[in-house]
Homo-oligomer: A and B are copies of this chain.
Amino acid sequence: MNKRISKIKRIMEQECIDHVLITDYYNLKYFINLELDSGERLLALLINKDKENILFINELFSIPSSDDYKIIYYNDTEDCISILSSYLSGKSIYVDGKWTASFLLRLMNRFSANYQDAIFLTTKLRSIKDEQEIKFMIKASLDNDEVMRRIVPFIKIGISEKELYNQLLFEFENLTCEPVSFEPIVAFGKNASNPHHQSNDTILQKGDVCLIDMGCRHQGYCSDMTRTFLQKNEKMEEIYDIVKTANLLAIEAIKPGKKFSQIDKIARDYIISFGYGQYFTHRLGHGIGLEVHEGYDVSSSSEAIIEEGMCFSIEPGIYLPDIGGVRIEDLVLVTEKGGIVLNSFSKEKTFI
């Protein structure tokens, strides 16, 4: 049996969990290396504490056999949830947090048990990267650095967000053969005060900041980095220094054994001390790996403990409505001694 399945079985044993049902695309990729989008049709891996695991799949999708599970095919005329429930026997069922309410409610109606969210299991296991995953994460960030370097010469007064955005996608396509990890954000001037701005025809003008949030993939693993480029502008330079120090202080504080909420607090308190607390409107960061946002959050309410091998973003920001914003985002890998930043593109104040 593969190591990842073995780990989950060990936890099921310890916690007396009879069944775990994995249905999410990325969880299936992580646990059994299956990359298959079955659309609205049920695709579910039933991991049993004491019995053989079973993969339920529509016969439209044929897949090779595996030592990790038996395959049960169903077809479009059969009730897949009824088939699945006939393989349940225990009282404690943990279902994939991403499963749909439709399937879950049908299963609950058919099989009475204590249903819980399996997210604590899947997040815990996926959050700690193994050696190969770390290599992939490092390479994805190296590529991201390189594209950031290639895009800098294009940041010139007169260019539009959309033009810079398209150039960015072009550079990613040239360098990597995998899709970007998310739609890049390119925001000029006051548009940068919206953390999720969508690039439009806005032209870069004198005094504007240029915020770029971008990421790519290597072997499916994601990178994610934000840099904010400046022009002479007193307010923006002031908040740049604050955001940069908040970023550095938070990264400096990362150690196995601490809580994520403690790291969020360090950056947040620093920003609050300058009176900008209300303008730092989001969590400090998020886990990353096969998905660009995965567990755990780096937020004030995140009580999870930081462990060696975890990888997450640290991205403080200050957003001044109708004026502009600054965000500086790095990915951090946790080692025994503390955090290592995966991306190397400079965060020194850079004027365009």
Contacts and interface: CB of A to CB of B under 8 A. Distances in A.
Interface range on chain A (Cβ under 8 Å from partner) = 35 or more
A297 B79 CA distance: 13
Interface string A54-89: 000001111000000000000111110000000000
Given A98-B102, A102-B98, A196-B61, A77 B301 contact: yes
A116 B61 CA distance: 30
A174 to B, nearest CB: 18
Contacts of A101: 95-101, 104, 117
A299 interface: yes
Stoichiometry, as copies per complex, reads 2
A17 to B, nearest CB: 15
A283 interface: yes
A115 interface: yes
A60 B281 contact: yes
Interface in A17-53: 39-40
Contacts of A40: 293
A106 B100 contact: no
A195 interface: yes
A282 interface: yes
A282 B76 contact: yes
Given A60-B282, A106-B117, 20 more contacts: A60-B195, A60-B281, A61-B196, A76-B281, A76-B297, A76-B299, A76-B300, A76-B301, A78-B301, A79-B301, A95-B101, A95-B105, A97-B101, A97-B102, A98-B102, A99-B101, A100-B101, A101-B117, A102-B119, A104-B104
